Amino acid sequence: MANQTSLLEYTIPQLLLWRVNQMPDRVALREKEFGIWRSLNWQQYYDLVRKAALGLEHIGLKKGQTIALITDNIPEMLIVSIGAQSLQAISAGLYQSSLPHEIADILNYIEACFVFCDDQEQVDKLVEIRTKVPLVQKVIYEDPRGMRDYRSDDWFISIDELYRLGEVEDAKDPERFKQRVALGKPDDVCHLCLTSGTTGLPKGAMMMHRNYINMGVRITEADPLESSDEYVSFLPFAWIGEQMNAFGVALATGITINFPESVETIMVDLKEIGPHFMFGAPRIYETIRSQIWLKVDESYWLNRKAYGFFMNIGRKAAEYRMSGRKMPFKLAALSWLGTTMVFNPLINQLGLLRLRRAYTGGAALGPELFTFYQAIGVNLKQIYGQTEITGIAYMHRDGDIRPDTVGKPLPGTECRISEEGEILSRSASVCAGYFKLPDKTTELLHENWLHSGDAGYIDENGHLVVIDRVSDVMHTRQGLMFSPMFLENKLKFSPYIKEAVIFGNQQEYVAALVNIDPIIVGKWAEDRRISFTTFMDLSQKEQVAELIQGEIKSINTAVEKEHFRIRRFAILYKLLDVDDGELTKTGKIRREFVQNRYRSLYDALYDESVSSKKVQATYQYQDGQTTTVEMEMRFYTVF
């Protein structure tokens, strides 16, 4: 194995070629299709990239041009991307949940000349906006089902035809592909990664080959992986977290990437693979925790008692494991017993038994949820970073895990805190700036330091503590500072609360809009014979309000400073949704948007004389249609 840091002198296509020379017959990609797992070894992976690259060159893709990908997680998303990068072109991932008008805006912004789609659903969106994206020369599709009407239109080309054209070009000049790959430089821009877009149109971070490969090398310096390890690809390819693993970690280590059959089968496919490491946003771990609680709640009385007893043991044992201290014999014995009898069978049902380490990032994860996973034996570790530093800048190490921090800098990463309290970072993983946005690039990169926009500090142990976005830190009318994210995470640790939005900037007190978890609260209501019809109906039940008020009181009791406590709340009649613009594609709250959208609810939260009011509940569906329902919404004061 070559010195890991020497890999930083390669581009992604060059590293793929190096990997082929190292282990041509080892499985690189595995995809489940029609219930059967099909594998591609590194040689086959490389061969398809070569054909894709030469096919793209044949249909007109040139150096510096952009190809956009709107696709579920399939091997072709990597094959086409790396094929384009082999020509010194630029790939860019778009969220497959994007609406047609959003796609048009992004394609025009990134000047996409070609688009790759996985199926008819995404192709139809492009058909709808065809006249609005004049730069797009061709649309490549992977799944031919439903595409019969488009085959006579030369704007479309199938992936199989692209491969065929590449094979023809390769036969004409077998050395051409390697010659093209050799022209690439590590500091070439190879991919545009779109930011979350919390304040408007996403910005395209200009990612370089060196960014991804450095990230793959540095992560594995801190947490070594084996080339035999398995990884399940279920994060959106448009998100930096997936690109970091697919481009960086996989090529730097030789691990196998597994692609589930569909979004609906992810949890089943996860069980079949049993990954060794996992990376996901907090929402994923919140969902898994809810599933665990449901399984426990539906279990026998004795099982529930055993779970409760050993969970207390697990939390105590987790404190020793996370700090690297040796456990007392009695605690170690009870912890082993609980792991063997209760927790291993439980996490085995979820496909996480072989998991050596799991990471969470993209948004803050509450310390309570973090400790929960450590208690049941899942080695969950917090990471912190952002798109512009290829996902990770700080990470917990085994034996040095502190739930209220995000760990220490990765090897090769420098950190400092500005006079204003902003977190600044510097490493080889920092991007080249924003595409076509020089002013924003200047704000982002100043004197070689990446400005995160987050407030934080470094504690006495050298760990980074993230407080909140600098722009999101709030002050009461009396000038007392508080972090809405801190309280939102506290609320979301409750199994009954799925999402929460905290308000209180320049107000007398803190208030919250709460989303209940429809599965957990629905089951809770059924067990108590509380009848309901819809989510809206369930959310406005008095018994549910009492349940949530109890959770908020518990949180308020644990909060030392009075100005930090929640005084008023309301339960929102609908789940916050990406399609309604309330959440970003990565699940972050668009706080200002939510406040403006629900202005009348916000005003009622700050008028203690209001206990209920009629509101017009408006829903927007994926096809853009809306419907409006009038309903009575209640507001509560916590005493």
Domains and CATH numbers, the chain: 4-259 (3.40.50.12780), 279-469 (3.40.50.12780), 474-637 (3.30.300.30)
What mean pLDDT comes out for the span 518-536?
Answer: 92
Strands 464-469 and 481-482: unpaired
**What token pair was written down for 18?**
């190096």
Residue labelled with tokens 């800048």: 393
* Beta bridge partner(s), residue 466: 456
Residue 623 has what pLDDT? Answer: 60
C-beta of residue 536 within 8 angstroms of C-beta of residue 574: yes
- What DSSP element (H or E) covers 67? strand 66-70
Nearest to 257 by CA among 26, 83, 464, 500: 26
pLDDT digit string, tens, across residues 447-499: 889 999 998 889 999 999 888 888 888 888 888 888 898 888 889 888 899 99
- What DSSP element (H or E) covers 414? strand 414-417
C-beta of residue 510 within 8 angstroms of C-beta of residue 566: yes
Indicate the DSSP class of residue 325.
P
Residue 362 has what pLDDT? Answer: 65
What mean pLDDT comes out for the span 218-240?
Answer: 92
Residue 360 has what pLDDT? Answer: 87
What mean pLDDT comes out for the span 522-529?
Answer: 92
pLDDT digit string, tens, across residues 360-411: 876 666 677 888 999 999 999 989 999 999 999 999 999 999 888 899 999 9
* Beta bridge partner(s), residue 91: 67, 191
Spatial separation of the C-alpha atoms in residues 37 and 34, rounded to whole Å: 8
Question: Which stretch of 103-112, 139-148, 359-368 has the lowest confidence by average pLDDT?
Answer: 359-368
C-beta of residue 635 within 8 angstroms of C-beta of residue 110: no
Provide, for the chain, the percentages of residues in helix, strand and coil under a 3-state DSSP scheme, each rounded to the nearest 5: 40, 25, 35
What mean pLDDT comes out for the span 130-157?
Answer: 93
Confidence grade of residue 97 (pLDDT, cut at 50, 70, 90): confident
Residue type, 453: G
Indicate the DSSP class of residue 340.
I
Nearest to 349 by CA among 401, 298, 279, 403: 298
C-alpha to C-alpha distances, 205 to 55, 112, 284, 341, nearest whole angstrom: 27, 15, 25, 47
CB contact set of 169 (below 8 Å; sequence gap of 6+): 54, 55, 57, 58, 176
Nearest to 108 by CA among 124, 131, 86: 131
* Beta bridge partner(s), residue 619: 627
Three-state DSSP at 156 gives strand
C-alpha to C-alpha distances, 356 to 72, 279, 453, nearest whole angstrom: 26, 12, 32
Nearest to 461 by CA among 407, 387, 514: 407
Residue 581 has what pLDDT? Answer: 82
Residue labelled with tokens 């930090």: 564
pLDDT digit string, tens, across residues 487-496: 888 898 888 9
The dihedral sign for the CA sequence 511, 515, 521, 525:
positive
To the nearest whole number, what is the mean pLDDT of the chain?
Answer: 91
What percentage of the chain carries pLDDT values higher than 70? 97
- Look at residue 1 and tell me whether its pLDDT is greater than 50: no
- Look at residue 622 and tell me whether its pLDDT is greater than 60: no
Spatial separation of the C-alpha atoms in residues 347 and 351, rounded to whole Å: 6
Residue 200 has what pLDDT? Answer: 64
- Look at residue 54 and tell me whether its pLDDT is greater than 60: yes
**What token pair was written down for 618?**
């408006």
C-alpha to C-alpha distances, 85 to 183, 203, 353, nearest whole angstrom: 11, 20, 37
C-beta of residue 586 within 8 angstroms of C-beta of residue 362: yes
Spatial separation of the C-alpha atoms in residues 320 and 325, rounded to whole Å: 5
Spatial separation of the C-alpha atoms in residues 291 and 267, rounded to whole Å: 11
Query: 438-443 long-range contacts, Cβ below 8 Å, gap at least 24?
Result: 440/203
- Look at residue 327 and tell me whether its pLDDT is greater than 90: yes
Nearest to 14 by CA among 40, 44, 38, 49: 49
What mean pLDDT comes out for the span 214-232?
Answer: 93
pTM over 0.75: yes
Phi, psi of 409 (to 5 degrees): -60, 145
Query: 155-158 long-range contacts, Cβ below 8 Å, gap at least 24?
Result: 155/130, 156/123, 157/59
Spatial separation of the C-alpha atoms in residues 14 and 11, rounded to whole Å: 5
**What token pair was written down for 609?**
């004389």
Three-state DSSP at 537 gives helix
Spatial separation of the C-alpha atoms in residues 349 and 351, rounded to whole Å: 6
Q: How far apart are the first and last CA of the chain?
A: 64
Confidence grade of residue 559 (pLDDT, cut at 50, 70, 90): confident
Question: How many other CB atoms sit within 10 Å of the CB of residue 310?
Answer: 22
Confidence grade of residue 513 (pLDDT, cut at 50, 70, 90): very high
- Cα angle 76, 81, 87 (rounded to 5 degrees) comes to 130
Nearest to 299 by CA among 243, 337, 345, 332: 345
Confidence grade of residue 3 (pLDDT, cut at 50, 70, 90): low
User: Which parts of 197-273 are beta strand (E)?
Assistant: 204-208, 230-232, 256-259
Three-state DSSP at 607 gives coil
Laid out side by side, the sheet with 90-94 consists of: 156-158, 138-141, 112-117, 66-70, 90-94, 189-194, 204-208
